[in-house]
Homo-oligomer: A and B are copies of this chain.
Amino acid sequence: MEDKEMTTEGDAYTRLEGKGIRPSVQRVAILGYLLTHRTHPTVEEVYNGLSHKIPKLSHTTVYTTLRMLAGCGLAQMITIDDHHVCYDGDASPHVHFYCTRCGRVLDLPNEKAPSLRGKKITSEGHIILSVQLYYKGVCHDCAQKEHIEA
């Protein structure tokens, strides 16, 4: 547990350095949180999860840091839910699923994700820099609880 935390913190530190971003305490903690919590946390959830360790942490820092991480490719911003933006520390292309019942955002590792090999141009001349494939519906757990048949 301790070791895992340490490794992940170190991992976060290394990733930030690799992008030329100064690995401040807050940034390492926020990226570390994303790497250890694959639950697609919202800004609020990251803030709540870290405010114990960093009592003076501000919402502002969480907002700006998460946005920055998404901007430089160390995380993904997920806008699948119209109520809450959330983030994913796994920046590799994969499909996301939103359950309209319980509100969870889940990974769909078995679905094939559209990927961009470098910069891509559409037939209209638009430059594509990122892709997101979102599925919405009812997750397995909620379907069972509600006895929904396939």
Residue in B100, B128, B138 whose beta carbon sits within 8 Å of that of A137 in the complex: B128
CA distance A138 to B120 in the complex (A): 11
Residues of B within 8 A of A133 (CB): 114, 131-134
Interface residues on A, range: 35 or more
Q: Identify the closest chain B residue to A106 (Cβ).
A: B126
Given the interface pairs A121-B150, A124-B110, the reply to whether A137 lies near B129 with Cβ below 8 Å is: yes
Q: A139: nearest residue on chain B (CB-CB)?
A: B126
Is B82's CB under 8 angstroms from A79's CB?
A: yes
A122 within 8 A of B: yes
Q: Which of A87-145 contact B (CB under 8 A)?
A: 97, 99-100, 106, 108, 110-111, 114, 119, 121-140, 143
> 10 A-B residue contacts at CB 8 Å?
A100-B129, A108-B122, A125-B143, A126-B139, A127-B138, A128-B136, A131-B135, A131-B136, A132-B132, A133-B134
